[in-house]
Structures are given as structure tokens and as C-alpha cells.
């Protein structure tokens, strides 16, 4: 990617963060001014000498508040962890890989406490307003990450995704968010929500930047991204659950998007997905996420539960009653459904569905615990499918026409990340 001076772009990013009328104070919790300037100057010096560390060299990045940085307490959006935590001994592996690729890391971004919400609210550090409408939620849990990208505070933001936490805020803020096949990118050094479901992914204004960041974090060669030919591409439109209760905006834009893809040459098939009903039944019996999250936080809940966001605390407490036998059954049930879904998708290049069934709710629409839980469940509903079935997924912004952002989501089989990026690059051109 051709870029101007890294130092110049860094200065512009800091100016956006420092703007008193903007969301910088809420979106970015830690700033690395001196370190970022040194990294940008080093990238510019390499460029002048004709040396490059790769396609990410000199890119301006932020990282979510749950990644370890040597010498710092990892807060994970929590004032309690900020108070009690021990400084990290070393950078998280993904942070080390990003630095080695020449990325300029300028900030840590705000998030839902412990990454346990799809809406992005944070009572401890404030909630950054949605760039499309500051009275609306940004989506979560990678809330500050999406706002930072959409508001020009960075070019790429690194988040985590346990049930949609890169893709939900990307969709609600009008940018691109990617969830890799979980095993490709190391999650060590990222404060956990669910050992089974956590994955690490990038957010940016375009597919190519996500592709470059993903390659660096996965330790793969950063090759040029070539769009797949759309003609004859087999896209399955998921029927049933993913299309239920769409709001007016999503209900209008999603069919319009399908029509444009079909006119561009994609071959659409409308797929009944009884496996999604099986997933919902399994989740209603036992939540792997709830059990693991409670395990991570049980001592903290007992000691200082009042210091935790009370909505997050209530969700964590739900894991207390899950028996070991039920957890083991849930893990085994999921493994069987993963195999079934992999076989189900074998004849498709990608599955297509709305990223979220609704646009970003207003802050006053999620002010009570009951309203919060209802909206939170809605925004997580479709994205969770990829995490449960261990797929790779990406959310692309649909044309807004002056309205609120919505996202188009593509799923592909585990391990087919590169193919999904090529498909996403082609789909992106359709809506450019």
C-alpha cells in the first residue's frame, strides 16, 4: 500500500485523538506518544533507504485494552484490574509480531469490561459515541477500536472476537471487521473471556488492511490480496434465524445487497440451516462461554464483585451453576455440530447473512438492564454463529445513503481464511 510519511499520518491520528470535540478521550485509554513517534520515524527511515518490513510497515495501529504490553497492567476495560493487576512481563505475541512487521502502535482502545458485551458500554472509562450518531452505541466489545478507525484515529485496530466483538462494532460503525479461524492467531497475552471461543482479529476501513494485519498476527507472508472472480461464486444465503426480526434498515439493505451481488455474477442459493436451531438448543442447555468466563472471574467476583460493571457481573454470575458434566456435554455437542457444519458448507464458497439484525441502538434504549440484555442478544445473534461453529468470518459495510451503518457478513469454513479474504475483496468492490 502506498502511504505518505508515517510520521505525518501519525501526527494526523494524534490530532484526531486530541480533538476536544471528538471521542479520543473515551476511545483511547492509553497513548504511546514517544514510542509511536520513534516507530514512525524508523519506518520513514527504512522507506528512504528502500527497505521494507512488509505491507504493514509504517501503518498506524491501535490495540484493544486487553492485550499485554510489557511493563503495563492489562485492564481489559476494568477499573478493578487497573487497581489490582500486575504489570505484564512481556508483550502479547500478536503485539510482538505487529511491531516486528513495522506497525506503529499509538494507543490502547476502550472496550466493554472483560470483553463481555456486544454493545460496547463501559461505566468505568466512558462509552465512545458511534461515529454515525454520537447518541448511539458503538458496538462491542471492541468499542474504542471501531470508533478509532471510523474517526481516523488509526488506520487499523486490533480487537478480539468471542461472539462477534470485531464484527459487531465494525458493522455498527460502518467499517470492516475480520474474525480468523481461531487457531491461526495466538490468543496468549490477551485477557481471556472464553478459552474455547476467543479469537484475535483486525478492523479497518477496507479489506486489504485487515488482510495485511491478519497475516502479520498469524505469522504468515504478507502477499498482495487478489480479489476472487465474482462470476459463478457460490454464495449461500442463510435462511431461518439470521433473517428473523430484521429492523427496517437492515431488512431493506440486505435484499438490496443480495440483488447487487447476483447482478455482479454471484450464484446465490437460499440455504435452510437446521444446524442453527441445533446450536440454539445447545446454548439454551449450557453456555461454554458462561462457564469459562465464571471460572476466570470467580475469585474476583467473590472479593470485589461490587467494583465490576453490574450488568457484566450479572452475566458472569450465570456461570456459577454450570456443572462440570454439563460443561463437558456442551463441549462434546459443539464438536459434533462443528463437524456437521463443516460438511454442510463444503459445497459453498461462503455463507451470507446480515452482520447484525438491527442498527446501533441509542444509548437511552439500553439504559436499563432488561433493555440492555434484549439489544445485546440481538446484536450478538448472527455473529455468534461463526464462533460457535469455529468458522472464519468478515463483516463488510453496506452503502449507507446517509443513514446508519449496516454490515454484510460472510462466513467460510475453518482454515479457509485466505479464500474468504479474496471473496471479501471482490464483494467490497461491488459496494464501493
Give residue limits of the domains in the chain. 6-218, 234-431
Across the range 57-71, mean pLDDT stands at 98
Q: Which of 112, 117, 165, 181 is catalytic?
A: 165
| CATH number, domain 6-218 | 3.90.1300.10
- Asked if 6-218 and 234-431 have one fold, the answer is yes
Structure confidence at residue 1 (pLDDT):
44
The cell numbers describing 29, all together, are: 485509554
Closest CA to 352 of 215, 239, 275: 239
Q: Which residues, 6+ apart, have CB-to-CB distance to 368 below 8 Å? A: none
DSSP state of 241: G
Mean of per-residue pLDDT scores for the chain: 97
Q: Which of 62, 112, 117, 141 is catalytic?
A: 141
Tens digit of each residue's pLDDT (9 = 90 or more) over 378-416? 999 999 999 999 999 999 999 998 899 999 999 999 999
Report H helices in 219-321: 248-263, 274-285, 288-304, 310-317
Structure confidence at residue 358 (pLDDT):
98
Looking at the DSSP assignment, which residues form a beta bridge with residue 302? none
pTM: 0.97
Across the range 67-95, mean pLDDT stands at 98
Structure confidence at residue 2 (pLDDT):
53
Distance CA 333, CA 395 (A): 27
Q: Which of 62, 64, 108, 117 is catalytic?
A: 64
Closest CA to 315 of 178, 141, 147: 141
Q: Residues of 102-121 as b/e, b for ≥16 C-beta within 10 angstroms?
A: bbbbbbbbbbbbbbbbbbbb
User: Cα–chain-centroid distance for residue 340?
Assistant: 25
- Cell match 471487521: residue? 177
Whether residue 365 has pLDDT greater than 80: yes
Report the run of H or E that residue 80 belongs to, with start and end.
Answer: helix 79-84
pLDDT band at 249 (very low <50, low <70, confident <90, very high): very high
Q: Confirm whether 141 is a catalytic residue.
A: yes
| CATH number, domain 234-431 | 3.90.1300.10
Q: Confirm whether 64 is a catalytic residue.
A: yes
* Percentage of the residues of the chain whose pLDDT score is greater than 70: 100
Q: Confirm whether 11 is a catalytic residue.
A: no
Amino acid at each position: 500500500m502506498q502511504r505518505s510519511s508515517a510520521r505525518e499520518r501519525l501526527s494526523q491520528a494524534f490530532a484526531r485523538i486530541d480533538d476536544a470535540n471528538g471521542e479520543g478521550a473515551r476511545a483511547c485509554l492509553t497513548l504511546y506518544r514517544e514510542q509511536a513517534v520513534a516507530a514512525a520515524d524508523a519506518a520513514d527511515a527504512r522507506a528512504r533507504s528502500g527497505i521494507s518490513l512488509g505491507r504493514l510497515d509504517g501503518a498506524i495501529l491501535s490495540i484493544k485494552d486487553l492485550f499485554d504490553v510489557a511493563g503495563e497492567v492489562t485492564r481489559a476495560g476494568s477499573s478493578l484490574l487497573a487497581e489490582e493487576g500486575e504489570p505484564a512481563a512481556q508483550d502479547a505475541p500478536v503485539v510482538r509480531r505487529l511491531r516486528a512487521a513495522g506497525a506503529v502502535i499509538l494507543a490502547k482502545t476502550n472496550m466493554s469490561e472483560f470483553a463481555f458485551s456486544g454493545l460496547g458500554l463501559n461505566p468505568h472509562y466512558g462509552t465512545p459515541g458511534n461515529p454515525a450518531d454520537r447518541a448511539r452505541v458503538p458496538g462491542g466489545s471492541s468499542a474504542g477500536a471501531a470508533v478509532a478507525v471510523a474517526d481516523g484515529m488509526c488506520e487499523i485496530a486490533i480487537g478480539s472476537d468471542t461472539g462477534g466483538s470485531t464484527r459487531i462494532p465494525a458493522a455498527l460503525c460502518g467499517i470492516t471487521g475480520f474474525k480468523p479461524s481461531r487457531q491461526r492467531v495466538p490468543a496468549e497475552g490477551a485477557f481471556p473471556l472464553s478459552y474455547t471461543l476467543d479469537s484475535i482479529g483486525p478492523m479497518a476501513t477496507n479489506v486489504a488492511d485487515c488482510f495485511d494485519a491478519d497475516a502479520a498476527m498469524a505469522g504468515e507472508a504478507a502477499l498482495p490480496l487478489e480479489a476472487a472472480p465474482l462470476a459463478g461464486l457460490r454464495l449461500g444465503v442463510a435462511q431461518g434465524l439470521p433473517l428473523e426480526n430484521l429492523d427496517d434498515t437492515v431488512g431493506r439493505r440486505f435484499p438490496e445487497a443480495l440483488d447487487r451481488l447476483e447482478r455482479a455474477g454471484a450464484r446465490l442459493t437460499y440455504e435452510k440451516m437446521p444446524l442453527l436451531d441445533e446450536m440454539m438448543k445447545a446454548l439454551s442447555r449450557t453456555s461454554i462461554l458462561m462457564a469459562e468466563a465464571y471460572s476466570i472471574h470467580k475469585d474476583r467476583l467473590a472479593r470485589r464483585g461490587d467494583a465490576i460493571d453490574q450488568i457484566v457481573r450479572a452475566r458472569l454470575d450465570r456461570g456459577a451453576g454450570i456443572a462440570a458434566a454439563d460443561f463437558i456435554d456442551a463441549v462434546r455437542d459443539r464438536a459434533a455440530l462443528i463437524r456437521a457444519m463443516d460438511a454442510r458448507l463444503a459445497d459453498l464458497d461462503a455463507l451470507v447473512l446480515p452482520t447484525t439484525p438491527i442498527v446501533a441502538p441509542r444509548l437511552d434504549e439500553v439504559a436499563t438492564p432488561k433493555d440492555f440484555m434484549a439489544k445485546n442478544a440481538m446484536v450478538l445473534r448472527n455473529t455468534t454463529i461463526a464462533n460457535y461453529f469455529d468458522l472464519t468470518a468478515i463483516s463488510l459495510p453496506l452503502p449507507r445513503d446517509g443513514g446508519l451503518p449496516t454490515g454484510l457478513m460472510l462466513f467460510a469454513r475453518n482454515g479457509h481464511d485466505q479464500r474468504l479474504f479474496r471473496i471479501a475483496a471482490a464483494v467490497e468492490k461491488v459496494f464501493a
